[in-house]
Chain A
Amino acid sequence: GDSVTQTEGQVTVSESKSLIINCTYSATSIGYPNLFWYVRYPGEGLQLLLKVITAGQKGSSRGFEATYNKEATSFHLQKASVQESDSAVYYCALSDLSSGSWQLIFGSGTQLTVMP
């Protein structure tokens, strides 16, 4: 079945430093899956950060970027300069039609802590 792997469970970065959160995926459908980053801020529900549905394209939102790399099956999340308010749990996810509907498959999440 489909799967999403986030290797870092926790990441700590100092404010104004750069960030990379790794995400790789495995999809069984014939076509290419849609890829997403969701974020959960403390005390809030999950919300979409960005999505890319075309291989080779880049998505961006709130200073974060992620490029859909079909050769490497990766969708790493990057930010050039993080802020304390970026502290949250970040989830990489994919969806495709392998199950008959576009259901989301999530990674295990990465807790980002930004130190002042």
Chain B
Amino acid sequence: DPKIIQKPKYLVAVTGSEKILICEQYLGHNAMYWYRQSAKKPLEFMFSYSYQKLMDNQTASSRFQPQSSKKNHLDLQITALKPDDSATYFCASSQDTMISGNTLYFGEGSRLIVV
């Protein structure tokens, strides 16, 4: 059974609309992350959370807002969608953010297409 659940797996959205990507982890981890992979680009770090608090933010746009209602949840709200937001968004978790050798465990990704 998958330990990190991402919903939806595929999503088509209209430019200007708002969507929420869901992520739940059942690994008992304290840290969660969002990464993005656009076409022909490496995975890019977006956010890290530890104990439901924002630790690091590498996303320039305020249109991307993580939401953590529980320690094992980290959803990603994206507003005013643009075609450039089309990508696969990966959620990940780890035991903690400040441990050397920190291993991240990833979900299967949510593929977003903005038309």
Chain A interface (Cβ < 8 Å from any Cβ of B): 4, 34, 36, 38, 43-48, 51, 53, 91, 95, 99-109
Residues of chain B within 8 A of A91, CB atoms compared: 42-43
- Chain B interface (Cβ within 8 Å of chain A)? 2, 4, 33, 35, 40-45, 48, 55-56, 58, 90, 92, 97-109
**CB <8 Å contact, B108 and A103:** no
| Residue in A51, A101, A108 whose CB lies within 8 Å of B98 | A101
**A46 and B100 contact, Cβ closer than 8 Å, known pairs A99-B56, A101-B55, A103-B48:** no
| 6 shortest interchain CB distances as A-B pairs | A45-B108, A46-B106, A53-B101, A106-B43, A102-B102, A101-B97
Taking CB atoms, residues of chain B closer than 8 Å to A109 are 42
Q: Is the CB of B45 within 8 A of A104?
A: yes
What would be 11 A-B contacts, judged by CB atoms less than 8 Å apart?
Answer: A34-B100, A34-B101, A34-B102, A38-B106, A44-B108, A46-B90, A48-B103, A91-B43, A103-B48, A104-B43, A106-B35
Q: Give the interface centre of B2, B101, B105 by most chain A CB atoms within 10 Å.
A: B101
* B interface, over-half SS: loop
Interfacial chain B residues near A108, Cβ < 8 Å: 40-42
If A99-B56, A101-B55 touch, does A51 touch B103 (CB 8 Å cutoff)? Answer: yes
**A105-B45 contact, Cβ under 8 Å, with A44-B108, A45-B4:** yes
Known interface pairs A45-B4, A106-B43; A101-B48 also in contact (CB < 8 Å): yes
Contact B103 A103 (CB under 8 A): no
Query: B45 — nearest CB in chain A belongs to which residue?
Result: A103
By the criterion CB–CB under 8 Å, are A45 and B56 in contact?
no
